[in-house]
Amino acid sequence: MEKWISDNGNGTYTNPILYLDYSDPDAVRVGNDFYMTASSFCNTPGLPVLHSRDLVNWELIGYALENIPYAGYDKPRHGCGVWAPAIRYFYGEFYIFFPMPDEGIFYVKAKDPAGEWSDPVCVYEGAGWIDPCPFIDDDGKCYMVNAFAKSRIGFKSRLQIVPMSEDFNKITGDPVMIFDGEANNNHTIEGPKLYKNNGWYYIFAPAGGVKQGWQTVLRSRNIYGPYEYRRVMEQKDTDVNGPHQGAWIRIGEGEDWFIHFQDIYAAGRIVHLQPMRWEDDWPVIGEAGPNETCGKPVEQYAKPAIAGTEEQGAPFCPDSSDEFDSSKLSLQWQWNADHSPEWIECVPEKSMIRLRSVPAEASISDQPNLLLQKWPLPEYTVNTCLYLKDMKTGDEAGIVNMAERYGALGILKTKDGFLLRTVSGEQRFEKEKAYARDTVRDIHLFAAGIEKVKKIWFSINVTRVISIENNNDGDYSFPIPREDVTFSYSLDGDSYEEVLDFESRAGRWVGAKCGIYVRNVSGKEGGYGCFDYFRFE
């Protein structure tokens, strides 16, 4: 299986709708189309934009942020950068509000979500404000709701409403703290999304923590409160731990849906779709009986009843495998930091890309030009083929798995021949800064063997084992996946030898990613690594 397909082709779907690390998803309906965005942290391009006609089949159509326009992001700042965004449609334009926990709150906008987006506009400068969501009331007044990052501001579990100018360019009054989750067993409440329905203001916000939390909804007749609250979805007896933040989508009168993520450890935060209904002006999300006010996630369900989607063709999801036969880089790829167009040359006539060798950092986890993409399946094997002819002395090129626990397998060109090299390590964090030290192991290859074939194949294999643990109270259990990552190489593309394996671990708020890289360990100007394909199976 090359891709995770959620659409069963018979009018039903199976969760997750995206087995991809689209953390903190938010979505909006515009006419007959749905658009989604998600966190991107320090990876670029950032703020992915996805499109769907039925809320089940999604296509990645672009990014809203080419690079992060702040000093320091030319190198990876793991766990920093672009956090949970909100996408809305105002005044005939798409807006994406996003936080950078160390820098402030920003928005970008575009008339065409698949086209060019504006430069970021800063609406709040400072650390600690996160998860912003803009809102326009019936009288045209504008507001923003947001949460707080304790690591930057000293507290969390609170939500505030901020009055905004009509163009959203500035704050026009004092923020009002409208909810304190520590006072009512909604600790770590965050990711708020503000809506209005039937005269009520609603704030959808997860609480309880990412992995073992639940969905809370607040409501009030006044935007500044007081707000009452209710738990509307939790794990219960399902395998979907901590159903976390997302978006309410209305597709028609009486049909509502909720998109949210589930944290599955190393593979990151995958996306689910839940049915939603209303009882006494309260939402109930997921599967729930007639008298239940709190639902649970569904595993399989009837697709949203949206006219015209029957003709959209076979089920699909964002691309993963890449033959490198396009004149530009495919959208599933992101770099490990702010990127330069000089790092890559597409050669579609040869179905190949050439990655320029960049001076090596002290740790491969801090290498900005790692070309990465999200894990697309619970288990998979991915293969790539590297041509050696354009490499210079000191160049190292190969395949990589990037996360808090990371590894790479590459070929190093030396003045005496070639060395097969494994690199592995684990990040540690102090005051939100990542530190890592690589363990390097070199295996000599006979130069004549490499020169004869002129290329080498690399492979990553991910296998999964599930263990079951109970929650702190012992009233329900939840699965914990463990993924083992094995690196192999081949000199003929057929027979592979394993040389490195370890248990993977998610990155700082980010799922593990796999990809390719070229760097020069001597610090000199290097050559190129030419990659023929990147195929999942």
- What is the tens place of the pLDDT at every residue in 465-520? 988 777 656 566 677 899 999 999 999 999 999 999 999 989 999 999 999 999 99
**pLDDT, position 473:** 60
210: nearest Cα among 179, 236, 180, 189: 189
CA pair distance 500, 243, nearest whole angstrom: 34
Given 26, 190, 234, 396, the catalytic residue: 190
Given 24, 54, 366, 395, the catalytic residue: 24
CATH for the 12-311 domain, from 3.30.460.80, 1.10.760.10, 2.115.10.20, 3.90.1150.10: 2.115.10.20
Confidence bin at 446 (pLDDT 50/70/90):
low
Tell me what the mean pLDDT of segment 266-286 comes to.
Answer: 97
Say yes or no to pLDDT of 24 above 90.
yes
Tell me what the mean pLDDT of segment 52-68 comes to.
Answer: 98
476, amino acid identity: Y
**pLDDT, position 444:** 76
- What is the tens place of the pLDDT at every residue in 296-312? 999 999 999 887 776 67
110: nearest Cα among 88, 80, 130, 132: 88
Confidence bin at 415 (pLDDT 50/70/90):
confident
Least confident of 17-26, 83-92, 464-473, 477-486: 464-473
CATH 2.115.10.20 domain span(s) along the chain: 12-311
Tell me what the mean pLDDT of segment 68-93 comes to.
Answer: 97
Tell me what the mean pLDDT of segment 394-416 comes to.
Answer: 96
Domain 334-536 has CATH 2.40.128.20: no
Q: Across 403-454, where does the E strand assignment appear?
A: 405-414, 417-426, 428-430, 433-435, 439-445
- How far, in Å, are 83, 130, 169, 170, 223 from residue 163 at the CA level? 22, 16, 11, 9, 10
Check whether the bond before 16 is cis (ω within 30° of 0).
yes
Distance of CA 245 to the CA centre of its chain: 13
Does 190 qualify as catalytic in the annotation? yes
CATH 2.60.120.200 domain span(s) along the chain: 334-536
- What is the tens place of the pLDDT at every residue in 153-186? 999 999 999 999 999 999 999 999 999 999 999 9
Exposure string for 12-51, b = 16+ CB within 10 A, e = fewer: ebebbbbbbbbbbbbbbbeeeebbbbbbbbbbbbbbbbbb
